[in-house]
Amino acid sequence: MIYSGGCFCGKIRYQFSDGEYLVANCHCTICRKTSAAPFVTWVIMPRERFAFTAGEPGILESSSKGRRLFCRDCGTPLVFASNERNHKIDVTTCSLDEPEAWPPTEDAYTDTRLAWLTHSGT
């Protein structure tokens, strides 16, 4: 099974192969600001499972912890590559063609979760 996704404008496309991947909602302030959304849901996988198949993403060094890849044309956030977990790559679930296939099971950085945000599963 191969899953695919890409940015809003379609210039950047990617694929990854199936596996037992953690899916987590991140409530950190950097995810929130760079997405302009209350939180970001990530599928976290070994880097060798993931490949861009079209386009060249822009790179944002969002902190000393890692960098974010996004579409320079339409702005869609696509990937977080951590310097600390450098064998893993985090992919934005909602850039997938079928985000329903990857429901989140965990929440991270809940200390900075927005108070008005009810649990994402409800």
Phi, psi values for residue 101, rounded to 5°? -75, -15
Specify whether the CB–CB gap between 69 and 59 falls below 8 A.
yes
For the four alpha carbons of 57, 59, 60 and 64, in that order, the dihedral sign comes to positive
Kindly state the tokens that stand for 76: 């869609």
DSSP secondary structure letter of residue 15: E
Q: Considering the complex, what minimum distance in angstroms separates the CB of residue 95 from Zn ion?
A: 10
- Quick check: 9 binds Zn ion (CB under 5 A)? yes
Site for Zn ion in 79-98 (CB under 5 A): none
Residue of 23, 31, 78, 89 interacting with Zn ion (CB under 5 A): 31
Neighbour tally for 98: CB within 10 Å: 10
Q: Considering the complex, what minimum distance in angstroms separates the CB of residue 87 from Zn ion?
A: 18
- Quick check: 43 binds Zn ion (CB under 5 A)? no
Q: Provide CB contacts within 8 A for 96, sequence distance 6+.
A: 3, 4, 5, 43, 102
- Quick check: 72 binds Zn ion (CB under 5 A)? no
Residue of 3, 5, 7, 43 interacting with Zn ion (CB under 5 A): 7
- Quick check: 28 binds Zn ion (CB under 5 A)? yes
Residue of 26, 43, 89, 96 interacting with Zn ion (CB under 5 A): 26
The binding site for Zn ion (CB under 5 A) comprises: 7, 9, 11, 26, 28, 31, 71, 73-74
